[in-house]
Amino acid sequence: MNQHIKFTAAALIISLAALPACRREVGPREAVAELRDADGGVVGVAILQEVDDGVRISVSGTNLPPGPRGFHIHETGECTPPTFESAGPHLNPTDAGHGLADPKGPHAGDLPNLVVAADGTVEVTVVASGATLADTGEWSLVAGDGTALVIHAEADDQISDPSGGAGDRIACGVIRRR
């Protein structure tokens, strides 16, 4: 009987010890977008993770033109080169004005400009406030056909509607659940 109790207690301890590991494996909702240029070359990757106030987007890029670049979430999960117009307009479920500086904005897809270094690299983390990685909902970046991240040729002035004068779309990546 003592052997059975010892075995049962040991099994219970092992089972309980495994619980935190299981929780870590489930973790928060995550997604990824591989950013490609008009020629189809990979110029970056974005890792997206749901956090308390939205979705954290960590971008690592190379071979991009130096300087500030508009960076947005577009409403359609499609990136047909060379113009990436297939990504549609910015994600805007509330019909808000454009730009982080717009009193009637921002769109859900409005993000701060990326600043690409002189060597063509960028490493930045931003938060898309209110966005989710839920399976459903108009603020979800992965629901239905999903959404896309787009890097533009120019800086976004953060107030001009509809796109802040950010110019052509030079890189695009469909956001996919990880």
- Which of these, 171, 71, 67, 66, lies nearest to 120 by C-alpha position? 66
> Cis bond leading into 93, ω under 30°?
no
**Looking at the domain assignment, is residue 45 inside a domain?**
yes
Report pLDDT digits (tens) over 101-148. 888 878 888 999 999 999 999 999 999 998 999 988 889 999 988 999
Report pLDDT digits (tens) over 143-152. 988 999 999 9
pTM beyond 0.85, yes or no: no
**Looking at the domain assignment, is residue 16 inside a domain?**
no
- CA–CA separation, 29 and 51 (whole Å): 9
Strand 30-37 relative to strand 176-177, pairing? antiparallel
- CA–CA separation, 160 and 101 (whole Å): 9
Q: Locate all alpha helices (DSSP H) within 48-154, ordered by sequence.
A: none
Dihedrals phi, psi of 123, to nearest 5 degrees = -135, 115
- Which of these, 109, 103, 116, 106, lies nearest to 153 by C-alpha position? 116
Domain containing residue 55: CATH number: 2.60.40.200
List the domain range (segments joined by +) for residue 53.
30-177
**Looking at the domain assignment, is residue 119 inside a domain?**
yes
Least confident window among 5-9, 29-33, 69-73, 157-161? 5-9
**Looking at the domain assignment, is residue 3 inside a domain?**
no
Our CA angle for 77, 129, 114, nearest 5°, is 70
